[in-house]
Amino acid sequence: MNQRTIAKRIELVGIGLHKGVPVKMTLEPLPSNSGIIFYRSDSGTSIPLCIENVIDTTMATVIGKNGDKVSTIEHLLSSIYAYGIDNLRIVLDNEEVPIMDGSSIGFCMLLEEAGIQELEMPKKIIEIVENVAVEDGDKFVRLEPNQDMVFDFKIRFPHQAIREQHYNFTFTTQRYKEEIARARTFGFLHEVNQLRAMGLGLGGNFDNCIVLDKNKILNKGGLRYKEEFVRHKILDALGDMCLLGMHFIGGYFSFAGSHRLNHLLTKKLLESPTAYRVIELAKDSYKSASYARQAVSLTSF
């Protein structure tokens, strides 16, 4: 399996979640070994996607360089990861990726419209060979050896519409589209009001976020999945794992994980050379059946 980019340039205009202003986003193909690069057209700043450029993980994953930043990147990255894309230029004229409908399904549709282009260089992936974990009280995120890419996530909230939710997801692109991509971000009404008092969350509404008051879900349409809350956490985790710079084979396990813990986990893994190895997926030299399965999972859409 070779590296991938998109087949043609494509653009859209959407609203940023926190500033609430229009954002023009253009996706452009890049050659092999370029990686994922964000470009702020309003300032002329390129920000490569890497853990060194992460500057904030409070409410979203934010990268920055030379005083410029790009916020709320995880939903777009989740879809980029799901489609096996290794090289892409993301051009923005403001500091936020459009929120779309609060999930990643719109980005999936955008990537399918652009088409996927296979490049000339072989794809590289990370194989997890030792457990790596980050903990914060009872919260944790962990990577383990596994023959597939597995995400196992559990959350617990006192709210009666959530309570405890658990979802186990073995990745393929098709399953991602069916089980994960439509899960929306969520927030509580009192938090939304606090954010807006701080000048944030100005682009949030019932069309791009599940909103809960003290007792119930306020969105008229209800939920898209029974476990939409925890499925969205898996969506976020996939996006945050994009910071590794490669896809991985292994298991991701979490209880109450967050963007901050995901960032610490990717950083810890890359600082632990015995915990992983890099595999080159040359077309005619898969090292084992598991690598071949992983390659197939990234082409099944």
Q: Kindly name the residue from 18, 159, 247, 259 that is annotated as catalytic.
A: 259
207 is in an annotated binding site: no
Of the candidates 23, 25, 48, the one whose C-alpha atom is nearest the C-alpha of residue 38 is: 48
For the question of residue 18 being annotated catalytic, the response is no
d(CA 180, CA 236) in angstroms, rounded, equals: 10
Count Cβ atoms within 10 A of the Cβ of residue 233 and give its class: 0-12 exposed, 13-18 middle, 19 or more buried. buried
Please say whether the dihedral angle defined by the alpha carbons of residues 58, 63, 69 and 74, taken in this order, is positive or negative. Answer: negative
Angstrom distances, CA of residue 282 to CA of 37, 92, 131, 157, 291: 24, 34, 26, 45, 10
236 is in an annotated binding site: yes
Nearby residues of 226 by Cβ (< 8 Å), 6 or more positions away:
none
Instruction: Output the known binding site for Zn(2+).
Output: 75, 232, 236
Catalytic residues: 259
Instruction: Output the known binding site.
Output: 75, 232, 236
